[in-house]
Amino acid sequence: MRVPRYTSYPTAPHFTPEVGAETYSRWLQAVDPDDPVSLYLHVPYCRQMCWYCGCNMKLAARPEPVTQYTETLRREIGLVAERLPGRTSISHLHWGGGTPTAMTPDDLARCMERVEARFDIASGADLAIECDPRTLEPEMIARIGSLGFTRVSFGVQEFDLRVQ
């Protein structure tokens, strides 16, 4: 299936000072409940800087700011689901960032539980997550597998440590 690649949707030109919560709600209410959606969840935190990266991110050496953010993300998942016209099916779920695996394994599980409570995950759905191999720990790898992720992207740009 050929689908457009969005880094945000609606795309940036749709957002102007006139676009507020009411407009955003109308857009969500216009989604056809019979069509599956792609859901992108953004975690703007990283544990280490990647010198090649141009992403808007924040460094978080401790888990507390990331955990606070994931609580906000869980609320946002609920708010979006409430504004959709029915229980919506997800065909693609992508965790990007930053580095989503800057979350604790428990925070990732809580967010996925919220997604599964508010949406239907379609059979054969693509569940993807971006990881930083420099900071990925065995417990997170196990949790990613147990949560049913089907694709993991490793942000390796260069193996020369001097570049990093």
Phi-psi region for residue 2, left (φ > 0), alpha (ψ -120 to 50) or beta? beta
Position 24 pLDDT exceeds 90:
no
Position 101 pLDDT exceeds 80:
yes
Where exactly are the structural domains of the chain?
A: 34-154
* Mean pLDDT over the full length of the chain: 89
Q: Which of 65, 61, 85, 84 is nearest to 73 (CA)?
A: 65
How many Cβ atoms are within 10 Å of 127's Cβ, its own excluded?
A: 20
Residue 163, pLDDT score: 64
Confidence of residue 7 (pLDDT cuts 50, 70, 90): low
Confidence of residue 83 (pLDDT cuts 50, 70, 90): very high
Position 147 pLDDT exceeds 80:
yes
Task: Provide the H-helix boundaries in the chain.
Answer: 21-29, 64-83, 105-118, 138-146
Global confidence as pTM: 0.85
Residue 51, pLDDT score: 72
